[in-house]
């Protein structure tokens, strides 16, 4: 298996061109392997942990409404616009590689512009109108992670608090998507100068050949990572035990039972007045 594809420039020097498409299949099957592993893990190990821990208990004396807003309307619109753009980018970016040919270049860069605009909107919206720090990994998340690992290893872990609005795995996923997204968007905007489009004039000599090779490589690495991230995201979205989260991305709210089962009211504070 090759990780990168190399070529020779007119001076006989070896030059990086892009990632090897072997990585596409590697990341695809890595995503499938993770899903299979988690299915077995969830079926065999999680019930044992639940019995050992005595199950979840609702927090007593917490005054919360029956319905708690988890995602605002504009946050949900952003999510589905981003998801649609990403799926179009994956199809137009990788289907031609596996042999399904169609006029994909124009569709690809338009979807990339939609993704870029949606991300810029999300940065402003999340920074000024949402709880900015709720999605970032904080010291409390790491302490909770250490405790959970100890408990799964059969060690004494003490009382483990429930998480805030977003658990650590959601935050880790968000970080991975952010890094991959910055890679594909940043390089994709530069690569617009290599194709015919209505936004910028074509200029293949904007960068040197080695730098273009680096651009294509970073773009490819982010893209193949998104293959695995998308597979695992869809898997968790359709799992019966996680579908309440998917419904919240459709309708905006979670019910009181799920809130108290999974969230610490001290780490995700809601009230009847604010509905979260």
The ranges assigned to domains in the chain are 4-46+72-157+169-243
3-state secondary structure of 17: strand
Bridge partners (DSSP) of residue 15 are 7
Residues 52 and 162: their CA atoms lie apart, in Å, by 16
Express each pLDDT in 187-243 by its tens digit.
999 999 999 999 999 998 999 989 999 999 999 999 999 999 999 999 999 999 999
Which CATH fold topology does 4-46+72-157+169-243 show? Fumarate Reductase Cytochrome B subunit (1.20.950)
Express each pLDDT in 125-164 by its tens digit.
999 999 999 999 998 888 888 887 887 777 777 777 888 9
pLDDT, mean of residues 65-81: 95
- Claim: this prediction has a pTM higher than 0.85: yes
Alpha helix ranges (H) inside the chain? 22-53, 73-94, 105-128, 139-152, 168-191, 209-238, 243-251, 256-262
For residue 33, name the pLDDT band (cuts at 50, 70, 90).
very high
Distance of CA 92 to the CA centre of its chain: 19
Residues 15 and 17: their CA atoms lie apart, in Å, by 6
Bridge partners (DSSP) of residue 189 are none
In SS3 terms, 192-219 reads as: HHHCCCCCCCCCCCCCCHHHHHHHHHHH
């Amino acid at each position: 298996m090759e990780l990168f594809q190399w070529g020779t420039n007119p001076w006989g020097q070896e030059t990086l061109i892009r990632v090897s498409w072997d990585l596409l299949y590697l990341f695809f099957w890595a995503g499938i392997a993770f899903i299979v592993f988690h299915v077995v893990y969830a079926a065999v190990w999680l019930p044992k942990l639940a019995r050992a821990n005595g199950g979840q208990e609702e927090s007593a004396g917490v005054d919360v409404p029956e319905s708690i807003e988890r995602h605002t309307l504009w946050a949900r619109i952003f999510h589905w616009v981003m998801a649609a753009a990403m799926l179009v980018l994956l199809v137009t970016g990788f289907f031609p590689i596996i042999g399904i040919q169609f006029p994909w270049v124009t569709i690809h860069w338009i979807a990339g512009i939609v993704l870029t605009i949606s991300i810029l909107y999300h940065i402003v919206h999340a920074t000024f109108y949402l709880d900015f720090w709720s999605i970032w990994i904080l010291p409390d998340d790491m302490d909770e992670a250490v405790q959970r690992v100890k408990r799964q290893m059969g060690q004494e872990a003490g009382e483990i608090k429930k998480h805030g609005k977003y658990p650590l795995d959601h935050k880790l996923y968000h970080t991975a998507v952010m890094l991959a997204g910055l890679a594909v968007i940043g390089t994709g905007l530069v690569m617009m100068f290599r194709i015919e489009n209505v936004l910028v004039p074509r200029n293949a000599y904007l960068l040197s050949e080695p730098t273009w090779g680096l651009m294509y490589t970073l773009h490819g690495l982010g893209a193949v990572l998104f293959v695995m991230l998308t597979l695992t995201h869809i898997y968790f979205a359709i799992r019966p035990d996680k579908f309440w989260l998917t419904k919240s991305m459709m309708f905006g709210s979670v019910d009181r039972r799920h809130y108290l089962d999974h969230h610490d009211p001290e780490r995700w504070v809601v009230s009847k007045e604010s509905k979260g």
